[in-house]
Amino acid sequence: MTTDFWRIVFGRLDLGALDFLTAFRDPTLNEIILSGAAWAVILGGLAAVAVLSRYRLWGPLWRNYLVSVDHKRIGIMYIVLAGIMLVRGVLEGVVMRGQQADGLGGGFLSANHYAQLFSTHGTIMIFFMAMPFLTGLINIVVPLQIGARDVSFPMLNSASLGLTVAGAALVMISLVVGAFSTGGWTAYPPYTDSLFQPGPGPDYWLWSVLLAGVGTTMTGINFVVTILRERAPGMTLMKMPMFTWTALCTAILMVFALPPVTVSTAMLLLDRYAGFHFFTNALGGNMMNYANLFWLFGHPEVYILILPAFGVYSEIVATYSGKRLYGYGSLVVATMSIAVLSFTVWLHHFFTMGQDADMNAAFGIATMLIGVPTGVKVYDWMATMYRGRVRMTVPMVYLVSFMVLFVLGGLSGIILANPSIDFQVHNTLFLVAHFHNMLIPGLLFGMLAGYTYWFPKLFGFRLNDRWGYISAWSWVAGFVLVFFPMYVVGLMGMTRRTVAYTNPAYQPWMILSAVGGVFVTVALASLFVQLYVSIRDRAFTRDIGGDPWDARTLEWATPSPVPAYNFAVIPHVHAREAFAVAKEAGLGYQAPPAYADIHLPGDTWMGVILAVFGTAFGFGMIWYMWWLAALSFAVMAVAFIGRALRGDRAGVIIPAAQVAAEHRAWLAAVGRLAPVTREHEQDGINHGVAAPETREVAA
Amino acid sequence: MSNARPEGSGQRTRRRLRSHWAGAPLLAAVAAAKAGAARAEGFLAPAGPVAMAQNVHFWQVTWISMIVVLPVLVGVPLLAWHYRYGNARARYMPNWDFSHALEWVMWLVPAAIVVVLGVLLWQGAHSLDPYRPIASDKAPLKVQVVGLDWKWLFIYPDYHIATVGEMAFPQDRPVQMELTTDTVMQSFLVPALAGQIYAMPGMVTKLNLAADRVGHFDGMNTQYSGDGFDDQHFTAVAMSKDDFDAWLKEVQAKGVALNPMAYARLATSSTPAEVRATFGNPAMPPSVTYFNDVPTDLFGGIVMRYHNGHPMTPADQPGTAAYNTKYSG
């Protein structure tokens, strides 16, 4: 009777699932690392609670962030989430490098622990680092670039964030309670079927990805509508900044590419929970249908990841070259081509399935075709630097390193696109090196460049340059050292996901790769040191004028930090790079003839409700605590439908007089500041008003 | 590559408890010394016609792509340096943002290269299709491959023998393989000889390979399949015709019978070394197990187990904990 009662309450959860206790029972290095990670999550959470309580920050956190629908605040929360997950993802990567350096016939990790590491590493980096980071940047920048007050559906935006947080929370909880999946970030059945993996591991993966996937689909819808409907008057599609174009393409891809993974995830859940046979070995199940559905999402997904980074690069290359972006039309066409072609190549992830040569060749050629618009983009950025005045700021270090490294990744991509060669290097470390080569210089460098570039716009001070350079160069060195050796051992036939190996020829390369792990750790730590130093020294890098980089697009025509309503008066747009054109004409800082009341959407608890009860729902499903799952789902459903019926009753009106006062005060401050030349861009005298030096045509 | 796997690599329990961080600096020094002597391996040192063609194709693609890669590798640092902010001598055209000539070059050169590479790709995909028999005046040797947790079972249907840990074949005859698994999905690869192909339960895939010299070549599963995945290697041994005939006799003489009970036990989760410990005898090479009296169409029976209209229960499905408990004995 009592046993049954506890089984209903706790489902299949028992004390043995508590990872932070295992090291006390079995103190080997493997278990100590396992428990240590659990303790890091617990203590990290407690430390955050303590700091928030000590400095009485719960109130401001709740009012200014958690219930806010301000796109900038939501963007910041996305990036904070990405930062936390980046720490875990990188450290897991470094532990894996250590293991493989030591992996000649052994190592210090168990095979199961290693498999959990590569599974969580991939899942976290894709779904809970890269996606939140780019979603955060899009949230922050797009409404500003198109001259809008907010996104089209502010409550939905908060809800998307809530679901993403719930997914991330489940992955973090898996460190403390139970084990994560060992099926990799792709979770191929039948390995992840309940027959082979009856435990909670694959369920952690499935519910995390399902929740985050629904959130991402809603984000996609939100930004497609926002970009198509909320642009300032005069901003035609072909006057949009490149970052907004890439955001549009990414949002479209999210709308069309996320449903396949939501469906394949739901189907695998039905297999696992309800005895269905979509992907099982027997009864007509077909695991390759999962591979098809997953990669029908998975390949557009890599362009979801890379396109916003391309957008960042397009913005910074023009700004830091002091020059118009070369080949805008080409870049738009290239971006759109990539978005469309991305749906035609998914089969190249399994050339080795046994389909016929015609099919492999068709998908291989489609894959190589994507190289054309991608190459054009790189050439366009080079042409933008040509006859420019290039300042090697931190974002430019990322850009230049990206261009050099990315084409090498492109080369390995072209190699992999050939089915006959792919048969050799598929599933080897060559493949691992390839996609890290695309995603680290491509996505991560782009995101970090964007973070550095737009940081002052949000917080009103610039990031520290010294630590920025240290971090950027460490990322570059670390990336090269970690992943180039993998190309070599991959060509030699070393498989991915192998905890150990017996071929001594691999080990020198794996040791080199582990040395790279040290650089990557330094790079990660430097980012946090940079943030600390920047906050400490913020008095010296104050951005008041709002234009610290002599930048070109509309978001720089606002004060830093940007007010909640973004623009005092919605601007009329007459040109691409509207702010650069206005500055050239001497009209960068104009007082409008009149101000009007501004309507802003009201706060909502929806994000918090979905984050908390989404996590509880997932946890309940994973551990078979059906009462918890049902209760949480009911709360979410009632809250969401109720809010939809009720509408936004908390809207805010900012009176015209207040807007006028704030805007005039800012214009007066701009008038008092001395404009700085680019020579002093990184100095203490740069307070965000640019001298017009780069706007004259030299001989 | 030509080094066979050392004995005992499959003894997982011993290995996992070991940690030699203390020796890491020494290890690094030794490894660095070896780095200079790193040899070409895998399909970089091809030992058969398929791997050789893949090797050629690899270098063709790499060199042709340099036409679009090199301008970036060279141009980006040059542009960044020459047009640096402080260089007053460099020309500055802040409003220049388009050139027709440049556009044509940017789009057409990569497009032309993709056309060339596309032709090569199409030819390669067909000529190196793993299903395509390898041209030879000798009849191919038939081998049926069953992926199990965590070893490959090689069945020689024409000789009623089977092996684990070693796949021998005559160097002058192509090998025609059919593959399936009796557990999760796996992927079969012998880098020095040919590319890989997935092996899936209830399904049959095909692979053709050949060696043009005698030798020992590392083969493996490349698709992660659980705790023993890293031990799922074997040695592909290409031998002369006479040696192969002798090998066949030896396996037939020394092997143990692969009756249904033996197969059920073999299908439990184990590494090649553990299979040798369970079934083998001192006459078999290390980590290699020979079987004889293999039932006719054992392979077809394994495939059809998944098409009988019944769901698999854990106790019937090799690779599950319940199956291991039931059959480990």
Q: Sort strands B215-221 and B186-190 into parallel, antiparallel or unpaired.
A: antiparallel
Is residue B28 one of the residues assigned to a domain?
no
Is residue B90 one of the residues assigned to a domain?
yes
SS3 of A126, please? helix
- In this predicted structure, what is the pLDDT of residue A23? 82
- In this predicted structure, what is the pLDDT of residue B14? 36
Cβ contacts (< 8 Å) between A694 and chain B: which residues?
A: 94
- Shortest CB distance from B94 goes to which of A108, A323, A497? A323
Q: What is the mean pLDDT of chain A?
A: 95
Who's near B54: CB < 8 A, 6+ residues apart? A420, A421, A423, A424, B43, B46, B128, B194, B195
Tell me: pLDDT of A152 over 60: yes
pLDDT band at A1 (very low <50, low <70, confident <90, very high): low
Answer yes or no: do B70 and B198 share one domain.
Answer: no
Distance of CA B201 to the CA centre of its chain: 18
Tell me: pLDDT of A102 over 80: yes
B224-283 pLDDT, tens digit each = 999 999 999 999 999 999 999 999 999 999 999 999 999 999 999 999 999 999 999 998
Spatial separation of the C-alpha atoms in residues A171 and A202, rounded to whole Å:
11
Cβ contacts (< 8 Å) between B42 and chain A: which residues?
A: 424, 491-493
Contact at CB, B106 and A327, closer than 8 angstroms: yes
Contact at CB, A508 and B97, closer than 8 angstroms: no
Answer yes or no: do B219 and B163 share one domain.
Answer: yes
Please give the single-letter amino acid code of residue A306: I
Answer yes or no: do B198 and B320 share one domain.
Answer: yes
B67 → chain A, closest CA residue: A411
Among B127, B162, B194, the domain boundary falls at B127
- In this predicted structure, what is the pLDDT of residue B74? 97
Residue A454 buriedness (CB in 10 A; 0-12 / 13-18 / 19+):
buried
Answer yes or no: do B171 and B112 share one domain.
Answer: no
pLDDT band at B329 (very low <50, low <70, confident <90, very high): low
Answer yes or no: do B161 and B117 share one domain.
Answer: no
Cβ contacts (< 8 Å) between A496 and chain B: which residues?
A: 222, 224
The candidate with the shortest Cα–Cα distance to A326, out of A405, A383, A276, is A383
Q: Which domains does chain A have, with CATH numbers?
A: 57-604+649-680 (1.20.210.10)
Q: CATH code at B99? A: 1.10.287.90
- CA of A75 vs chain B CAs: smallest distance (Å): 32
Is residue B225 one of the residues assigned to a domain?
yes
Tell me: pLDDT of B33 over 60: no
- In this structure, are residues A73 and A62 in contact, taking their beta carbons and an 8 Å threshold? no
Is residue B288 one of the residues assigned to a domain?
yes
Contact at CB, A424 and B200, closer than 8 angstroms: no
- Shortest CB distance from A281 goes to which of B77, B233, B306? B306
The candidate with the shortest Cα–Cα distance to A201, out of A216, A172, A186, A180, is A180
Is residue B213 one of the residues assigned to a domain?
yes
Tell me: pLDDT of A83 over 80: yes
Instruction: Give the domain extent around B116.
Output: 44-127
pLDDT band at A536 (very low <50, low <70, confident <90, very high): very high
Tell me: pLDDT of B12 over 60: no
Among B127, B152, B174, the domain boundary falls at B127
Identify the bridge partners of residue B187 per DSSP, sorted by sequence position: B198
Answer yes or no: do B194 and B255 share one domain.
Answer: yes
- CA of A197 vs chain B CAs: smallest distance (Å): 8
Among B127, B154, B183, the domain boundary falls at B127
Contact at CB, B32 and A511, closer than 8 angstroms: yes
Tell me the count of A-B CB pairs closer than 8 A.
368
Contact at CB, B124 and A420, closer than 8 angstroms: yes
Contact at CB, A327 and B306, closer than 8 angstroms: no
Burial A622-641 (b: 16+ CB within 10 A, else e): bbbbeebbeebbebbeebbe
Answer yes or no: do B298 and B172 share one domain.
Answer: yes
pLDDT band at A105 (very low <50, low <70, confident <90, very high): confident
Please give the C-alpha separations between residue A371 and each of A244, A378, B155, B164, in angstroms, as whole numbers: 22, 11, 43, 43
Answer yes or no: do B54 and B116 share one domain.
Answer: yes
| Disruptive mutation site among A290, A377, A420, A518 for chain B (greatest number of B CBs within 10 Å) | A420
- In this predicted structure, what is the pLDDT of residue B161? 97
Please give the C-alpha separations between residue A90 and each of A117, A118, A238, A472, A545, in angstroms, as whole numbers: 11, 11, 39, 15, 36
Contact at CB, B195 and A420, closer than 8 angstroms: yes
Contact at CB, B3 and A372, closer than 8 angstroms: no
Average pLDDT over residues B174-189: 97
Cβ contacts (< 8 Å) between B93 and chain A: which residues?
A: 323, 387, 697-698
Answer yes or no: do B200 and B106 share one domain.
Answer: no
At residue A214's C-alpha, the angle toward residues A208 and A215, to 5°, is 90
Range of lowest pLDDT (A236-245, A329-338, B36-45) = B36-45
Who's near A2: CB < 8 A, 6+ residues apart? none
Q: What sign does the dihedral A526-A530-A531-A536 (CA atoms) show?
A: positive
Answer yes or no: do B183 and B313 share one domain.
Answer: yes
- CA of A212 vs chain B CAs: smallest distance (Å): 25
Within the 146-185 window of chain A, which residues sit less than 8 Å (CB to CB) from chain B? 182-184
Angle between helices A131-145 and A287-321 (to 10 degrees): 50
Contact at CB, B311 and A277, closer than 8 angstroms: yes
At residue A429's C-alpha, the angle toward residues A189 and A79, to 5°, is 75
- In this predicted structure, what is the pLDDT of residue A24? 85
Answer yes or no: do B236 and B107 share one domain.
Answer: no
Is the CB of A499 inside 8 Å of chain B's CB atoms? yes
Answer yes or no: do B241 and B318 share one domain.
Answer: yes
Quote the number of domains for chain B.
2
- In this structure, are residues B194 and B205 in contact, taking their beta carbons and an 8 Å threshold? no
pLDDT band at A26 (very low <50, low <70, confident <90, very high): confident
Token pair 């935006």 in the structure block, residue: A157
Predicted interface score ipTM higher than 0.90: yes
Cβ contacts (< 8 Å) between B122 and chain A: which residues?
A: 361, 365
- Shortest CB distance from B121 goes to which of A354, A365, A679? A365
Is residue B167 one of the residues assigned to a domain?
yes
Is residue B3 one of the residues assigned to a domain?
no
Contact at CB, A191 and B20, closer than 8 angstroms: no
Beta-carbon count within 10 A of B21 CB: 12
Q: What sign does the dihedral A378-A379-A380-A383 (CA atoms) show?
A: positive
Q: CATH code at B175? A: 2.60.40.420
- Shortest CB distance from A694 goes to which of B94, B206, B229? B94
- In this predicted structure, what is the pLDDT of residue A418? 97
Is residue B21 one of the residues assigned to a domain?
no
- Shortest CB distance from B197 goes to which of A288, A354, A383? A354
Average pLDDT over residues A181-210: 95
